[in-house]
Amino acid sequence: MTGAPSSGSGVIERIAQDFGVRSGDCVRFNDAWLNDLGGSWLAPPRTNEMTWHRLDHDRLVGSSTLMDFAGESAEPVVLADPRLSLLLPLWDHLAKRSLPLVLVVRDPREVADSLGSRNGLSARKSIALWFDYLRQVLLASHARSMLIIDRGRLVSFPDTSLAAVASFISESVGVQVQTPGLELSAHLISLDRGSRNSRSIGGLSVSELAYLMDFYYQVAAAHGQVGARLSIPECPSWVDEVLDELLAARTARRAQEVSGESGELVGLLRDQVAGLEAERLAYLGQVGKLESEIARLVQERQAHGFGVGVGVGDWNGDVLRELRQALARCVELIDQLERDGAN
């Protein structure tokens, strides 16, 4: 279950839970993959068909194991997250099939209101995100079993809308579900509170808004339908510019974060180098004491007429040789740490 941010996919998930279907949490998993692709939910990564063909096989195997999603005997589970809109080809790879989908759509003007109050986004950025999410879902779903639910029609016609959702889930997961007898008004009231009365939006020209609304009306008209044939509009140049701006801002934030992390790492390395240097000086002090003690013993033996002796001389040489080798290794390690810290 997915859609643009603030469209209502989470409410549909809660309704599915009332049907008795288990749900799973995939948000952190999706965030990790979006980050690997160079983006985030707020700055969608630029992907194409080749992006998904180049996916690392070992990473995919590890991901499918992590999500317990690879086995055919796995229990059916409902996943709801707007980020799925950006990662449907990845999830199809994990499942080894085209996954059934409930696409929740919402008036872009309402989405702009919600993202503006909740995330502080301008109307222009909010609607650019709405367009990109919806367009990416449809581009990845031309042969997919997909039910479209319009948020406004769900509120206005709950009985037929919930019956459509129940029927789609039953056919998709092979488990018969019924619309529950319990009260669902709380879910629908939460949707209704987000509805919008004004019909205009700041930051967009009349023609820009009309282009987007035509797209929305076409998709919303397929409410309750499975397999609807929809035309996918070209991405307006202004939407591309906004998406590039969001990606650039995300890249700048990541650069600052990495710089801060690098500074902390350099500090830790310098502390380690200082500690090793102190140990090296301590070793040097011990070596000096040992050399003095050995010299004293040699002098005493010579004074008593015993001579140094082959065994003692060999032992002295071995000890000094090992100590000097250990010191040389310490010095090499310190030099390497200093080079790593400089880099």
Q: Which fold is adopted by the domain 9-235?
A: Rossmann fold (3.40.50)
Contacts of 30 (CB under 8 A, 6+ apart): 41, 81, 83, 84, 86, 87
Every domain of the chain and the residues it spans? 9-235, 256-342
Read off the pLDDT of residues 161-210 as tens digits, 9 standing for 90 and up: 888 998 998 888 777 766 554 445 455 555 555 555 445 677 789 999 99
CB 103, CB 154: distance < 8 Å = no
**What stretches of the chain show up as alpha helix (H) in DSSP?**
9-18, 27-36, 49-53, 57-66, 84-95, 108-119, 123-139, 151-156, 158-173, 185-192, 206-220, 237-303, 310-342
Confidence of residue 339 (pLDDT cuts 50, 70, 90): low
Percentage above 90 pLDDT, the chain: 40
* Residue carrying structure tokens 């996916």: 55
* Residue carrying structure tokens 């998406």: 243
Q: Tell me the average pLDDT across 320-330.
A: 67
More confident residue, 192 or 302: 302
Confidence of residue 70 (pLDDT cuts 50, 70, 90): very low
Q: Tell me the average pLDDT across 277-302.
A: 74
pLDDT of 124 reads 94
Confidence of residue 120 (pLDDT cuts 50, 70, 90): very high
Q: Tell me the average pLDDT across 89-98.
A: 89
Read off the pLDDT of residues 11-49 as tens digits, 9 standing for 90 and up: 888 888 877 788 888 898 999 999 999 999 999 999 988
CB 106, CB 186: distance < 8 Å = no
More confident residue, 187 or 295: 295
Q: Tell me the average pLDDT across 118-130.
A: 94
Q: What's the alpha-carbon Rg for the chain, to the nearest Å?
A: 33
